[in-house]
Copies of this chain bind each other. A is one copy, B any other.
Amino acid sequence: MPDNKITEKFHPSFTKLGLSSIVAISEQVRDLEAATGRKIIPFQRGDLNLEAPEYVKDAAKKAIDANRTRYPRSGGEPGFKEAVVKYHKESGVELVPENIVCLHGGQEGLQLSFSLFRGKRVLGFSPYWPCLTGNIFPYSENAFETVPLEEKNGKLSFDPAELKRKLKDADLLYVNTPHNPTGKVFDRAELRLIDEAARKAGVVIVSDEPYDKIVYDGREHISMLEFGNENTIVVFSASKSYAVTGFRAGYAVSRNTEIAALLTRANYSQTAGVATPIQDACAAALNDRARREEWVAFLKDTMQRRRDALYTGLAEVFPGLVKPQGAFYYFLDMRGIIPPAVKNRDEYLLNLFLDSDVAIVPGASFGKEGFIRVSFSGTGLEETAEGARRIVRAVKKAKADGAARTALAGRVSL
């Protein structure tokens, strides 16, 4: 049987899928380290290098000991859903188990939410998480249009008029707060405006909130759940909240129980649910409020120190630098140091920093060529500070090489 015949039968939603640019860079870094013995600072990662809290690990082990190793209930174990209901009640959000679907991380939450509206039009803010355009939307065959986040009067935000205009041609609106890659935490007024505009336009909101625990300077995470919009799907993840990216667990919430029921059936069809002992561990993570709050305080503090170390280090060459409000990324404008003759600006930036033993993710896959994302999720405090020094060194070198014709623009000015 000639191979080309088979190849022709592959569905385009599969053949258009990329592998994550971040994964590709990580593999390049691994190869480079193995070949040269150099130690490269992994600012490309989106994976916390913290050990998961003991009480969460204990709960997983206890579940295994108790032989909680049989099929989970469709859409989530009753105990998991109860824990989620109780947790959101803490912040005044009333839910019922029928609103909740336990899923394989934020990833499956987004994939299923967008696949439910296969082939429809999605509006989002740019820059955005690269997995959307590399995987999620090719898989769900959705068209993607954006509204830019831009700095005005020292604040990163969007133009409400543009949002409202573009919502007219959209079926779905993708929101992400705290925001990857800018670190912006949308405030209540912005979210309310977004919610009202989406309702008016008859647009379903998909709100991606995996960094809800990681907000700085005493800031509060505002969830899209707050606005009581029936046609909103909010996706939460255990990954970043408890440093368990490898548990592949999270959940989607919709007040529209028909949406929740369809997500449940699709999850059953795809994987028959999230591993039972892992659901138990996630329920325990939520249920033990004292231990959770202690852990989240530690998590915030640890990440805020890293954020501040980067800020201090980078200030020398980025005088107007704005600190991220949440998540664990800086998104830096490097357009000013790229020689005009450079054709592939992403490649130039990747190599410029790799030459100084620091790995970053160039901006094109976030929809912003000439920028870099610097993640402090996978580096200790000292390593983070050293990484800042290396970034500064690379930037100075690029400038000294006389490569840059324009003034250095490194501020988070989108």
Contact = CB atoms under 8 A, between A and B. Distances in A.
Contact of A246 (B3, B13, B269, B275): B275
A249 to B, nearest CB: 8
A77 to B, nearest CB: 10
A180 to B, nearest CB: 15
B269 A136 contact: yes
What is the interface residue range for chain A against chain B? 35 or more
Contacts of A138: 269
Nearest to A5: B202
Contacts of A204: 6, 9
Given A104-B271, A105-B272, A117-B9, A262 B14 contact: yes
One complex includes copies of this chain to the number of 2
A67 interface: yes
A171 interface: yes
A269 B139 contact: yes
A18 interface: yes
A23 B74 contact: yes
Nearest to A202: B1
Interface string A190-216: 000000000110101000000000000
A262 B20 contact: no
Contact of A268 (B20, B71, B244, B246): B20
A328 B68 CA distance: 22
Given A14-B116, A248-B273, 8 more contacts: A9-B120, A13-B115, A14-B266, A19-B268, A57-B65, A71-B246, A138-B269, A247-B275
27 contacts: A1-B199, A3-B230, A6-B256, A10-B116, A11-B116, A13-B118, A14-B115, A14-B266, A17-B265, A19-B265, A19-B268, A47-B71, A48-B70, A51-B69, A52-B69, A60-B277, A61-B65, A70-B245, A71-B245, A104-B271, A107-B272, A108-B270, A139-B269, A248-B271, A248-B274, A249-B275, A275-B278
Interface of A: 1-3, 5-7, 9-11, 13-15, 17-20, 23, 47-48, 51-52, 57, 60-61, 64-65, 67-72, 74, 104-105, 107-108, 111, 115-120, 131, 135-136, 138-139, 171, 199-200, 202, 204, 230-231, 243-249, 256, 258-259, 262, 265-266, 268-278
